[in-house]
Amino acid sequence: NAGVTQTPKFQVLKTGQSMTLQCAQDMNHEYMSWYRQDPGMGLRLIHYSVGAGITDQGEVPNGYNVSRSTTEDFPLRLLSAAPSQTSVYFCASREQNGANVLTFGAGSRLTVL
Amino acid sequence: GENVEQHPSTLSVQEGDSAVIKCTYSDSASNYFPWYKQELGKRPQLIIDIRSNVGEKKDQRIAVTLNKTAKHFSLHITETQPEDSAVYFCAARDTGNQFYFGTGTSLTVIP
C-alpha cells in the first residue's frame, strides 16, 4: 500500500511550456484533490474530484486542467506555464464519506523560469 | 466560501514550554477541523482533529479546543520538544466537504 504517489518530485519549466504532474493512489479513495503551497499562503485548493469522470474547480483553478478517467489517477496539467505557477504542489485523497482524513502525496516542486 | 485565518505565523518557544496556535473560520456551518503538521521538506500529516459537536479533544501532549459560538479553534502543545518544530496548519471542512487551510504557523522549539 503506497498511499498517494506523486511524480515528478522536482521540475523546472520555461514560461509557455506544458507539463503534467502525476498523482496516483491505491487506497480506493473516491475523492482526490490538488493543492498548491506558497510561502505565507498556506495550502490552496486548485481542483478536486469526487469520483471517476467528475471534476470541479477549487479556489485557484486558473491555468490548470485536470481529468479523472480512473479512480486511481488524477493528473494536473499546466498547458502554458507561467512564473506565477512556481510552487509546491500536493495531491491529496480521502474517502468521499465517513473518515475525513486527507492523505497527502510527497509533493512536487515546480519552478517556472 | 470558507475563510480560515491562522495566528501567529511564527512562534518560538523554549523546550518544555507550551505552544498555542489559533484559528478562526467564517462559515458557521463548517463541521470538522483538522490540524496538520508539516516537517521541513515533507508532506502535511494529520496530528489531531475535532468535530463540531465536541468542545475539546486531547491526545497525549496535544489538544484542540473549539468554540463554535466565536468560530475559533486552537491547538495546544504542552511540554514542547525539539521534534515538535514544524509548520502547523489548521483547516475547516465546509458543508460542501471541501477543506480550507490556514496560512500556517512555523513553530521552533529552542533546546
Query: What value does the mean pLDDT take over residues A9-38?
Result: 96
* B81: contact with A, CB 8 A cutoff: no
CB contact under 8 A, A104 and B44: yes
Amino acid at the residue A53: G
How many angstroms separate the CA of residue A44 from the nearest CA in chain B? 7
pLDDT of residue A41: 85
For residues B2 and B16, give the distance between their C-alpha atoms in angstroms, rounded to a whole number: 35
Backbone CA torsion sign across A64, A60, A58, B36: positive
Strands annotated E in B15-104: 19-25, 32-38, 45-51, 56-59, 62-67, 72-77, 86-93, 99-101
Distance of alpha carbon A95 from the chain centroid? 16
Backbone CA torsion sign across B82, B46, A42, A63: positive
Task: Copy the grid coordinates of residue B2.
Answer: 470558507
Between chain A and chain B, the number of residue pairs with CB atoms below 8 A apart is 47
How many angstroms separate the CA of residue A2 from the nearest CA in chain B? 14
Q: Is the pLDDT of residue A95 over 90?
A: no
Which DSSP state fits A29?
A: -
Give residue-wise pLDDT tens across range A40-61.
888 999 999 999 999 999 999 9
CB contact under 8 A, B104 and A105: no
Strand arrangement, sheet containing A19-25: A4-7, A19-25, A76-78, A64-66
Q: Grade residue B6 by pLDDT with cuts at 50, 70 and 90.
A: very high
* B96: contact with A, CB 8 A cutoff: no
